[in-house]
Amino acid sequence: MAPLEPYEQVLIDDAYLEEDPHAEIACEQCHGGNPRASKMKAAHKGLVPDPTYPDPSKACGECHEEIVATNKTNLHVSLNAYKDIIGKRASDNKGVRKKVFKAMDTHCFACHSSCGQCHVSRPDSVEGGFVEGHVFQKTPPMDTNCTSCHGSRVEMEYLGKNKGLPGDIHYIKERMKCVSCHTGEEMHGTGKNYTCRYDVENAPRCKDCHEDALGPQAALKTHRIHNGKVSCQVCHSVAYKNCYSCHVGKDKKGIPYFKTDKTEMAFKIGLNPRPSKERPYKFVTLRHVPVSKETFAFYVKDGLPNFDVLPTWKLATPHNIQRKTPQTERCKSCHGNKKLFLLEGDVAPEERAANKGVIVPNNAVPR
Amino acid sequence: MVRPKGKGIWYLGAGFIIFLGFFLLWGVSDSAQSQDESTCISCHTSVRDLVNITREIAAKAPSEKSTESEGEG
């Protein structure tokens, strides 16, 4: 998505002033600054560009009290998942740990959302700018907001932008948008402090819509046979993006940058790293995440000595669902087809210890 | 002069209505005036002003995006 021209980013549309009830509130009440000053510098003194981050209670809370109440536990705001997984891998040494988290502050934590960055502007991480001249969007637009952050994986998969691979049937056939499955209730958080999106209780499940197709009474024999044993994506997903070795640092001017070594399209079935009541499956699709032992090497030596406590091939729910896939052609498409499974040889030697719980032993590939 | 009984309440009511009228008029005119006077609105609704200002800013402080970023994040 191309960034907006600088003037467009801050241009207020007449529609906002004429139709949006939020325009009844004076600008300075949310954003500060001095509306009487005639010079830009003086007018912008004390300006708060996003008054909804990190604490939206003053700007939004007066009217939207219930939604704001759970804001701190909203994963898009708390970024608890990053904190948890890096925290587990990071050194126990206080000084080293502090440097790791400082690096995360500069890089990883720069990608967060807020009320304003979903409902008024594009997210800061993609240079911001009003979505529609400051008109509040009850439903955040998919293309300017959701996929501007979730672009390289979700957008490419869902819309079918990966060369030679089809888009998700929910989009291609039904034109479903992100919010068709990911509701406002899910996005706003529940008040429970989750550390992983797969634990979120009101996150969408296939069975929410396809209840009859699942379970021991399912009409399709293959669904009955595989019920509870494999995730839906194992049969109904196709190749998806895997990224490797992300390094972060600062350039000569002190501007933060990141580098990832390679990206590859692959489809790998592995052992379920986090079986739960909702996902009891033995086999799931796994995606390689870009973390590496040296991710924070620019800031601190040996920052992630506990690297092996978590797999680098993570539980994945690729957004490229198909009714028919190479796996659904016949039984032998999967059974005995070792190429589909994450075997030891597929994992880099330095990451094998981390992934021992998800690598499928040769003798465990279904025959 | 003796006023007829009950007229005082009438005067009091009329006075209150007049006061309320002035109060509301003052509030509305103040609100309209503050919106007119707000440089936030006058500047941020003018394409011409914003183009000029953002060009000036860009000339003084070019984009702070590292050219060293590589790959997909």
| Shared-domain flag, residues A51 and A93 | yes
| Shared-domain flag, residues A47 and A179 | yes
How confident is the model over A311-333, as a mean pLDDT? 98
B contact test, residue of A12, A24, A153, A291 with most B CBs within 10 A: A12
Distance CA A144, CA A2 (A): 10
On whether residue A298 sits in a domain, the answer given is: no
Residues whose CB falls within 8 Å of the CB of residue A253, separated by 6 or more in sequence, listed in order = B64, B66
All structural domains of chain B with their residue ranges: 8-60
Q: Would you state the pLDDT for residue A295?
A: 97
Residue A70, domain extent: 1-204
| Shared-domain flag, residues A122 and A58 | yes
- ipTM confidence: 0.85
Q: What is the mean pLDDT of chain B?
A: 74
| Shared-domain flag, residues A228 and A113 | no
On whether residue A165 sits in a domain, the answer given is: yes
Question: C-alpha angle A209/A213/A214, rounded to 5°?
Answer: 95
On whether residue A278 sits in a domain, the answer given is: yes
On whether residue A257 sits in a domain, the answer given is: no
Q: Model pTM greater than 0.90?
A: no
How many independent structural domains does chain A possess? Answer: 2
Across the interface, which of B37, B58, B66 has its CB nearest the CB of A257?
B66
Among the listed residues A122, A117, A109, the one whose alpha carbon sits nearest the alpha carbon of residue A1: A122
CA distance B61 to chain A (A): 13
| Shared-domain flag, residues A170 and A131 | yes
B1 pLDDT more than 50: no
Identify the helix (H) or strand (E) that includes residue B7. Answer: helix B7-37
Question: What are the distances in angstroms from CA A311 to CA A44, A283, A318, A349?
Answer: 47, 15, 18, 13
A256: nearest CA partner in chain B: B66
pLDDT digits (tens, 9 = 90+) for B47-71: 999 999 999 998 988 777 888 898 8
Question: What are the distances in angstroms from CA A67 to CA A101, A128, A330?
Answer: 29, 23, 48
| Shared-domain flag, residues A200 and A213 | no
B34 in A contact zone (CB under 8 Å): yes
| Shared-domain flag, residues A219 and A318 | yes
| Shared-domain flag, residues A198 and A339 | no
On whether residue A24 sits in a domain, the answer given is: yes
| Shared-domain flag, residues A14 and A148 | yes
Between chain A and chain B, how many beta carbons pairs sit less than 8 Å apart? 90
Please report where in the chains the tokens 């979120």 appear, as a residue: A200
Distance CA A106, CA A73 (A): 21
| Shared-domain flag, residues A183 and A224 | no
How confident is the model over A337-347, as a mean pLDDT? 98
| Shared-domain flag, residues A21 and A78 | yes
Interchain proximity A6–B57, CB inside 8 Å: yes
| Shared-domain flag, residues A71 and A172 | yes
